Structure 1
Amino acid sequence: MKNVLEYLERSAARDPDKVAFADVNEEITYAQLLQRAKEIGSALAKRFPVRTPIPIYREKSVDTICLVFGAVYAGCYYVMLDLRHPKARIEQILATLETDVVVTDARQASRLSRMELDVTLLDVEELDAAVDEERLAQIRAAHLDIDPLYGIFTSGSTGKPKGVLIAHRSVIDFIDVFTETFAIDEQAVIGNQAPWDFDVSVKDIYSTICSGATMQIIPKAYFSMPTKLLDFLCEREVTTLIWAVSALCILSTLKGFDYRVPTHLKKVMFSGEIMPMKQLQIWHSVLPEVTYVNLYGPTEITCNCTYHIVCEQDLQRGMLPIGRPFPNERILLLDEDDREIIKPNVKGEICVSGTAVGLGYLNNQEQSDRVFVQNPLNSRWQERIYRTGDIGYLDEEGLLFFSGRRDFQIKHMGHRIELSDIECALTAIDGVARSCCLYEQEHILAFYEGEGERRELLRELKKTLPAFMLPDQFLQMERFPLTKNGKVDRMALKEYWEVNKG
């Protein structure tokens, strides 16, 4: 297989009248999706050279998924733009992509026009064209599986966004293993939570077309309305969730299951942050027959590189393991001198090797050379690895645990401290639902959701943490602010502290 479109064509041939994607307004069958994607692809091929980016500025929807696959039929790679991005960030992304054309629709075009961007807006609703099978065949014949499929922009240490490029080959190798490992088949109904400029959505979209499943596109607004979200999951008979941790916690912390239980669920997979054990226990108590999976992996390595299927024993742990690597990937744990760590409970940097490793950062060779590097353990042939910047360790059973980010490691009172260690200890206390720690102006700040009082929290932490790890301040939050990707918004927490510290 050289192109992800083979997934779509295979599923359309097998079950043309089955619903492939649905949103709150419409649905589309595999046959209809195939036809529409080819029409859009034929139109885009007249405007974009092959192997060039097609920026898409639209809400996620059935129409947008047609545009995504149309971009792929045109031999290009797609880049989803966040509708909440300010003008400066969109300009930075387009400059990196070296394009001044954005594909959008009439509604979003007016928003872009108000930004006064120096771009050409291409209305997707005007991309009607007869399918040019000859041109599409020429594009496919010249296509290589190492060509980019999509680009996702992440934050950069310099303040400029970094564009991660992922090839068809990487997605194919990952999705084949992912769907087989978790038995995702044509009976699955996948409830899409993730924004499409976030790599969790890659698992939703391509697991769907690979297996011939159906994907239900959940409106973003429903994640602020637990009853609507639960009604959607129940009425659409969703069986599979591949969500950010914070999205799952919305239902459990707000006691959504007291209203309604989505009994069709069979698989719940989560990633992006450490899953609070209390929240997982709530989910398990309500839906004990569901398979729960902890997934780990950065954007740069095609979604995930390790997984752990939760068992009864795990529910008694303080923290879940991120598990073992998928069969087509290799995990290296390296110390500060690039020596491999094989002893249990010794922390090192998590590095990844395998076909899922991305192509690097677009037009950013310096950043690419910093983290996409030769395996220091292999001097015999070229073997590229990705240095994640994440810290982990192995337990006695060889299971990998995530310990935190290098940039969340602080030096306080002469000691090196992982903020995630404090978060785990805090979340284990009765009266704390979730926690997040920051280090600002030589103060450890502990933000938490729950009813616990500062004096009691400090008393309990003293039982498990040394004095130099105790938070200097406790800030009780009714609800954590979240980024668009469903993670705790640490910058918003910092701003909250700045306003309230006096």
Structure 2
Amino acid sequence: SGTSGGAPKPVPATHDAVMAYARNKIAVERIQSDSVVMLASNATFDLYMGDACAAVLAGATCAASSRAMIQSDFALVVRASGATHVCCTPTVFSLLRCAPSEVPTLRCVTLAGEKMSTQTLETWAPAVELYNAYGATETTVVQTYARMRVGDDARRAGKAYAIDGFACVYIAKREDENEDECGATFIDDVGVAGEIVIGGACVSAGYVGDVARTAEAFVNTDRGRVYFTGDDGYVDESGELYVLGRRDRQVKIRGYRVELDEIEVVLRACDALVANAVVFYDVNSDDAQSSALTAHVQLRRDYDAFDDGVYARALERWARHRLPTHAVPLRYVFVDFASWPMTSSGKTCRMTLRERLLEGVTSVYRPRYEAPRNGVERALARMWMEALGLSDERGVGALDAFDAIGGTSLNVLLVSRALVAEKSLRLAPNSSTLSSST
């Protein structure tokens, strides 16, 4: 079970579970003896196991290629092999930089492991059988499939496929075992969010050599032994699963709960410009400058030669019209298409992006900075910096949003007192500072 740059956690998968997964995959994706299944993932990634086993079980052809070839010209690989089926992460699929008409043999695309982009959905859903798949290595790779069509919610992950009792998907809330012998409270109400829990024959024995981590994630309940995925989601009235994002991707910014995954969805929706986006929130008690949302953005290949400042301003305007002010990234880092880091499993390597930021090897852009223009504005900027605890390097600009840079009613009071003492000027908080964005 790989993570976005972290240490992998080994889990055993039984022969019966792998074969049940392969049979479900064959049924859903309609893999037949004349199919050509592209092995687009590394052999160390669980999707590879599903592709290889399903192809062999169906009597189909496996088409293999090097990682370097897929990264340099994925479209050529698909055309040369005559691939009919591709299953990979959305990050790897983004390397297929061509129109569907340029790969005419391709008839089924299954994306898993990350959230599908709106651009991928709108481009490929009319041309092929496009599936959004969801699952976990701990439960033998993939448990749900959703056939996607233009206009669908990209969070929709469909229903569990239960050939050979393979998988059941529930929504639940963890309970202290001292309070509830079952270890979980299951949520059966439609549309009510909770943690996604997977049961059935697909559930593995746990993490090899790690009893504590196994006990935390694998729980015996009144519905059998289940795995807590760490993902939030809900089930709609038709029984389909919707995946909301990782539970550990929720942060609190000045008292507001913010889902970083939701910010990424908004940025990726600007699909005329953005190919991928990852958002971090770093808290630094010594310097409020560091306590900011930073968006790492991979622009579409057409925009490799770009003006970072122009694109930062464009994305900031896009986000500001779609997100509350406290959830709008203040800093933007642009990564060219070829340098976007991927793990061995083909997912975005978040750890590498964070390390580059911390090591100062990336350029950070603030789209709204405008320097003070005169003595009064410079004095005001200095007062705000002192009240907000900002460093000289960051400064306060005329276009900075008051609440986005940490402004509170207490800050207004501090600046108001400083203005009276130093400039004999007064702020009217209710009529100006709190009702204006800058």
Q: TM-score, normalised by structure 2?
A: 0.71
Equivalent position to 1:437, from 279, 284, 288: 279
Question: How far apart are the structure 2 equivalents of 1:424 and 1:488?
Answer: 15
Paired residue secondary structure (1:476): strand
Question: How far apart are the structure 1 equivalents of 2:32 and 2:355?
Answer: 45
Contact 1:279 / 1:433 at 8 angstroms: preserved in 2? Answer: no
Describe the shift of the 1:294–1:155 C-alpha distance in structure 2 as closer, same or farther (beyond 3 A): closer
Contact 1:354 / 1:385 at 8 angstroms: preserved in 2? Answer: yes
Runs of 4+ in 1 over 4 A off after TM superposition: none
The residue correspondences of 1:269-348 to structure 2 (distance < 5 A) are 269-284=110-125, 288-314=126-152, 317=153, 319-327=154-162, 328=165, 329-337=167-175, 338-348=184-194
Contact 2:4 / 2:350 at 8 angstroms: preserved in 1? Answer: no
Paired residue secondary structure (2:274): coil
Question: How far apart are the structure 2 equivalents of 1:459 and 1:345?
Answer: 31
Aligned to 2:91: 246
Aligned to 1:358: 204
Whichever of the two has the greater Rg, that structure is: 2
Question: How far apart are the structure 1 equivalents of 2:114 and 2:13?
Answer: 22
Write out per-residue CA displacement over residues 373-427 of structure 1, whole angstroms, 9 at most, x where no aligned residue.
112x54xxxx110111111123454422111112212122212221110011112
The residue correspondences of 1:453-472 to structure 2 (distance < 5 A) are 453-472=311-330
Of the structure 1 ranges 333-342 and 351-360, higher mean CA displacement relative to structure 2 is found in 333-342
Question: How far apart are the structure 2 equivalents of 1:163 and 1:481?
Answer: 23
Question: How far apart are the structure 1 equivalents of 2:15 and 2:275?
Answer: 40
Percent of residue pairs identical: 27
Structure 1: gaps (5+ residues): 1-152
Paired residue secondary structure (1:295): strand
Describe the shift of the 1:359–1:402 C-alpha distance in structure 2 as closer, same or farther (beyond 3 A): same
| 1:496 counterpart = 2:356 | yes
Describe the shift of the 1:447–1:184 C-alpha distance in structure 2 as closer, same or farther (beyond 3 A): same
Question: How far apart are the structure 1 equivalents of 2:8 and 2:26?
Answer: 31
| 1:428 counterpart = 2:269 | yes
Contact 1:156 / 1:162 at 8 angstroms: preserved in 2? Answer: no
Paired residue secondary structure (2:343): coil
Paired residue secondary structure (1:323): strand
Question: How far apart are the structure 1 equivalents of 2:146 and 2:8?
Answer: 31
Equivalent position to 1:394, from 228, 235, 238: 235
Question: How far apart are the structure 1 equivalents of 2:342 and 2:4?
Answer: 19
Question: How far apart are the structure 2 equivalents of 1:384 and 1:360?
Answer: 11
Write out per-residue CA displacement over residues 10-44 of structure 1, whole angstroms, 9 at most, x where no aligned residue.
xxxxxxxxxxxxxxxxxxxxxxxxxxxxxxxxxxx
Equivalent position to 1:179, from 4, 21, 26: 26
In the TM superposition, what is the alpha-carbon distance from 1:293 to its structure 2 partner? Answer: 0.5
Q: Aligned partner of 2:210: which letter? A: N
Write out per-residue CA displacement over residues 180-229 of structure 1, whole angstroms, 9 at most, x where no aligned residue.
22221111110101111110011111001110111011111112212xx3
In the TM superposition, what is the alpha-carbon distance from 1:290 to its structure 2 partner? Answer: 1.2
Question: How far apart are the structure 2 equivalents of 1:396 and 1:439?
Answer: 35
In the TM superposition, what is the alpha-carbon distance from 1:162 to its structure 2 partner? Answer: 2.2
Question: How far apart are the structure 2 equivalents of 1:224 and 1:453?
Answer: 25
Describe the shift of the 1:336–1:302 C-alpha distance in structure 2 as closer, same or farther (beyond 3 A): closer
Write out per-residue CA displacement over residues 54-106 of structure 1, whole angstroms, 9 at most, x where no aligned residue.
xxxxxxxxxxxxxxxxxxxxxxxxxxxxxxxxxxxxxxxxxxxxxxxxxxxxx
Describe the shift of the 1:472–1:405 C-alpha distance in structure 2 as closer, same or farther (beyond 3 A): same
Contact 2:4 / 2:349 at 8 angstroms: preserved in 1? Answer: no
The residue correspondences of 1:365-384 to structure 2 (distance < 5 A) are 365-375=211-221, 377-378=222-223, 383-384=224-225
Aligned to 1:154: 2
Q: Aligned partner of 2:346: which letter? A: G
Question: How far apart are the structure 2 equivalents of 1:491 and 1:289?
Answer: 35
Root mean square deviation of aligned Cα: 2.3
Equivalent position to 2:298, from 418, 436, 449: 449
Contact 2:91 / 2:346 at 8 angstroms: preserved in 1? Answer: yes
Aligned to 2:108: 267
Equivalent position to 1:407, from 238, 248, 256: 248
Q: Aligned partner of 1:326: which letter? A: Y
Write out per-residue CA displacement over residues 205-262 of structure 1, whole angstroms, 9 at most, x where no aligned residue.
1001110111011111112212xx322221221111111111111123xxx349x811
Question: How far apart are the structure 1 equivalents of 2:38 and 2:68?
Answer: 14
Q: Aligned partner of 1:444: which letter? A: L
Contact 1:164 / 1:361 at 8 angstroms: preserved in 2? Answer: yes
In the TM superposition, what is the alpha-carbon distance from 1:358 to its structure 2 partner? Answer: 1.1
Equivalent position to 2:341, from 473, 481, 494: 481
Contact 1:323 / 1:401 at 8 angstroms: preserved in 2? Answer: yes
In the TM superposition, what is the alpha-carbon distance from 1:161 to its structure 2 partner? Answer: 4.1
Structure 2: gaps (5+ residues): 176-183, 284-290, 304-309, 365-392, 394-438
Contact 1:483 / 1:489 at 8 angstroms: preserved in 2? Answer: yes
Write out per-residue CA displacement over residues 265-309 of structure 1, whole angstroms, 9 at most, x where no aligned residue.
11111111001111332334xxx3310111111110111111101
Describe the shift of the 1:264–1:162 C-alpha distance in structure 2 as closer, same or farther (beyond 3 A): same
Question: How far apart are the structure 1 equivalents of 2:336 and 2:191?
Answer: 35
Write out per-residue CA displacement over residues 435-482 of structure 1, whole angstroms, 9 at most, x where no aligned residue.
111122332111112357222322222222112211121222222211
In the TM superposition, what is the alpha-carbon distance from 1:325 to its structure 2 partner? Answer: 1.1
Paired residue secondary structure (2:13): strand
Contact 2:124 / 2:130 at 8 angstroms: preserved in 1? Answer: no
Q: TM-score, normalised by structure 1?
A: 0.62
Aligned to 2:410: none
Aligned to 1:145: none
Aligned residues: 332
Equivalent position to 1:235, from 80, 92, 96: 80
Aligned to 1:14: none
Contact 1:335 / 1:347 at 8 angstroms: preserved in 2? Answer: no
Question: How far apart are the structure 1 equivalents of 2:7 and 2:51?
Answer: 28
